Amino acid sequence: MTKLWAGRFCTSTNEKVERFQASIFFDRRLYEEDILGSAIHAKMLHLIGILDKEEIKSVLGGLKEVLHKFHTAEVSVKYADEDIHMLVENLLREEIGPLAGKLHTGRSRNDQVALDMHLYFRKSSLTAIYLILTLVETLAELSKTNIDVTLPGYTHLQRAQPVLLSHHLLAYGWMFLRDAKRFFDTYHACNISPLGSGAIAGSTFPLDREYVRQQLKFSSFYPNSMDAVSNRDYLLDYLNSASTCMMHLSRLSEEIVLWASAEFRFIELSDNFCTGSSMMPQKKNPDVPELIRGKSGRVYGSLFGLYTLLKGLPLTYNKDMQEDKEGAFDAEYTLTNSLSLMEGLLKEAKFLEVSMKYATENDFSNATDLADYLVQ
Ligand code: ARG
């Protein structure tokens, strides 16, 4: 296995070290971003005269082949591949020979990993916005179709004042709209190109950062290369947005769990979103909202994990930073699934209008309104 950095080493890597330091099993999902970034970097190298006509044709053709291999699952991964950047270059070498090494001109894995993560989480932010807005749309539709339904509004979990179900549901709608805005800000934080920063201090080659920025549709590039390779704020932003959104989903989940209980009986969840008990045949368990509530914890965990990871790091890239990925990918997976499952669950649920009305009309939940009336 050719290692990009093997030149000054006399012995091969200890096997345990090789495993310990490899990120390939969790960063291989960045293959599309890595290949796209490589193709644009190659085109830029051609523009500034480093790759000639034949070479650029060969590099781009080779990268296309590598992408095809990933898409058709022909790539088998070993610890020795180390990370996605080395794997893509090694696969390219299999396609086009030593010319693959020339692609690394003016580039380091430090700005490469930064680029891949910016691209990946820029896209993930848009996905989150899309899923959030879909959920808000469902909440709005449910509000419309249940416009006459009333229920007690609660404070301290005590019946307080009668409210419309739409009022209650749209309170969540507004929370989720703020989440969408937070992800929009996250999108902007991810929309900056780090390419051209090299390992830390740029390159002696006259790299055209503006060309790369335009091709990758970034709104700007980092003015400071040291900041570019060591910045993980955009990931903190993503995790913070995801945590707040999970917190909102978790609060809604908690209400659904309560409402689905015999004590409230405000909602009937669809069978295909619940499971039963192996011992108590009468039960229908609200697993989905319970799990969304439970999984919010791991997303906060990823956010705090990343803060802790970063707090003692000197500039610029440190290998510690490789640890940013699993938590962030896990948070993205958890958030995406939670949002779409919540939307599906709400769409199929039935609001139990009669028991909501009964609860509204009993226990003096309109006492304040009566008092106001008497005063007037
Ligand atoms: N796999 C590394 C990461 O995820 C890529 C950057 C490695 N850079 C280096 N100088 N070893 O952070």
Mean pLDDT of 353-358: 96
- Residue position matching structure tokens 């969540």: 172
Kindly give the residue spans of alpha helices, DSSP state H, lying in 146-232. 165-190, 209-215, 225-230
- Residue position matching structure tokens 């296309």: 64
- Under the banding of pLDDT at 50, 70 and 90, the label for residue 1 is low
Mean pLDDT of 69-86: 95
pLDDT computed for residue 274 by the predictor: 85
Which pair of tokens denotes residue 241?
């947005």
What does the alpha-carbon distance between residue 95 and residue 59 come to, in Å, rounded to a whole number? Answer: 9
Beta-bridged to residue 124, according to DSSP, are: none
Give, using CA atoms, the residue closest to atom 7 of ligand 1.
109
Q: How many CB atoms lie within 10 A of CB 100?
A: 23
Annotate 51-110 with DSSP letters as a single string.
Answer: S-HHHHHHHHHHHHHHHHHHHTT-----GGG-SHHHHHHHHHHHHHGGGGGGGGTT--HH
Residue 9 has pLDDT above 90, yes or no: no
Which pair of tokens denotes residue 177?
């709209």
* Residue 233, amino acid: D
pLDDT digits (tens, 9 = 90+) for 130-141: 999 999 999 999
pLDDT digits (tens, 9 = 90+) for 127-185: 999 999 999 999 999 999 999 999 999 999 999 999 999 999 999 999 999 999 999 99
pLDDT digits (tens, 9 = 90+) for 83-129: 999 999 999 999 999 999 999 999 999 999 999 999 999 999 999 99
pLDDT digits (tens, 9 = 90+) for 254-296: 999 999 999 999 999 998 988 777 777 777 899 999 999 999 9
Q: Is 253 a catalytic residue?
A: no
Q: Is 277 a catalytic residue?
A: yes
Q: Are 266 and 259 in contact (CB under 8 A)?
A: yes
**Angle subtended at Cα 118 by Cα 323 and Cα 245, rounded to the nearest 5 degrees:** 80
pLDDT computed for residue 3 by the predictor: 75
Kindly give the residue spans of alpha helices, DSSP state H, lying in the chain. 15-21, 24-27, 31-47, 53-71, 84-96, 109-145, 165-190, 209-215, 225-230, 233-259, 287-310, 325-348, 353-361, 367-375
What does the alpha-carbon distance between residue 35 and residue 247 come to, in Å, rounded to a whole number? Answer: 35
Residues near 366 by beta carbon (within 8 Å), at least 6 away in sequence: 161, 162, 360
Mean pLDDT of 14-35: 96
pLDDT computed for residue 2 by the predictor: 62
Residue 363 has pLDDT above 80, yes or no: no
- Under the banding of pLDDT at 50, 70 and 90, the label for residue 36 is very high
Measured in Å, residue 319 CA sits from the centre of ligand 1 at: 6
Measured in Å, residue 229 CA sits from the centre of ligand 1 at: 10
Give, using CA atoms, the residue closest to atom 3 of ligand 1.
322
Residue 69, exposed/middle/buried by CB under 10 A (0-12, 13-18, 19+)?
middle
Measured in Å, residue 325 CA sits from the centre of ligand 1 at: 11
Residue from 79, 110, 115, 316 to probe ligand 1 pocket by mutation (most atoms less than 8 Å from CB): 110
Give, using CA atoms, the residue closest to atom 2 of ligand 1.
322
pLDDT computed for residue 254 by the predictor: 98
- Under the banding of pLDDT at 50, 70 and 90, the label for residue 370 is confident
Residue 365 has pLDDT above 80, yes or no: no
Residue from 21, 23, 115, 325 to probe ligand 1 pocket by mutation (most atoms less than 8 Å from CB): 23
Q: Look at residue 29 and give its three-state secondary structure.
A: helix
Residue 335, exposed/middle/buried by CB under 10 A (0-12, 13-18, 19+)?
buried
Residue 366 has pLDDT above 80, yes or no: no
Measured in Å, residue 83 CA sits from the centre of ligand 1 at: 7
User: Which residues form ligand 1's pocket by a CB distance below 6 Å?
Assistant: 23, 27, 83, 109-110, 113, 317, 319, 321-322
Residue from 87, 231, 317 to probe ligand 1 pocket by mutation (most atoms less than 8 Å from CB): 317
Q: Are 190 and 122 in contact (CB under 8 A)?
A: yes
pLDDT digits (tens, 9 = 90+) for 189-204: 999 999 999 999 999 9
Measured in Å, residue 8 CA sits from the centre of ligand 1 at: 18
Residue 232 has pLDDT above 70, yes or no: yes
pLDDT digits (tens, 9 = 90+) for 328-349: 999 999 999 999 999 999 999 9
Residue from 83, 120, 309 to probe ligand 1 pocket by mutation (most atoms less than 8 Å from CB): 83
pLDDT computed for residue 246 by the predictor: 99
What does the alpha-carbon distance between residue 157 and residue 355 come to, in Å, rounded to a whole number? Answer: 17
What does the alpha-carbon distance between residue 323 and residue 311 come to, in Å, rounded to a whole number? Answer: 13
Residues near 13 by beta carbon (within 8 Å), at least 6 away in sequence: 3
Which is the catalytic residue, given 104, 156, 261, 340?
A: 156
Q: For 56-60, 71-75, 131-135, 214-218, which range has the lowest pLDDT when averaged over its residues?
A: 71-75
Between 370 and 94, the more confident residue is: 94
What does the alpha-carbon distance between residue 295 and residue 338 come to, in Å, rounded to a whole number? Answer: 9
What does the alpha-carbon distance between residue 296 and residue 239 come to, in Å, rounded to a whole number? Answer: 11
Which is the catalytic residue, given 12, 219, 220, 277?
A: 277
pLDDT digits (tens, 9 = 90+) for 296-332: 999 999 999 999 999 999 999 999 999 999 999 999 9
What does the alpha-carbon distance between residue 344 and residue 249 come to, in Å, rounded to a whole number? Answer: 13
* Residue 218, amino acid: F
Measured in Å, residue 80 CA sits from the centre of ligand 1 at: 14
Measured in Å, residue 215 CA sits from the centre of ligand 1 at: 24
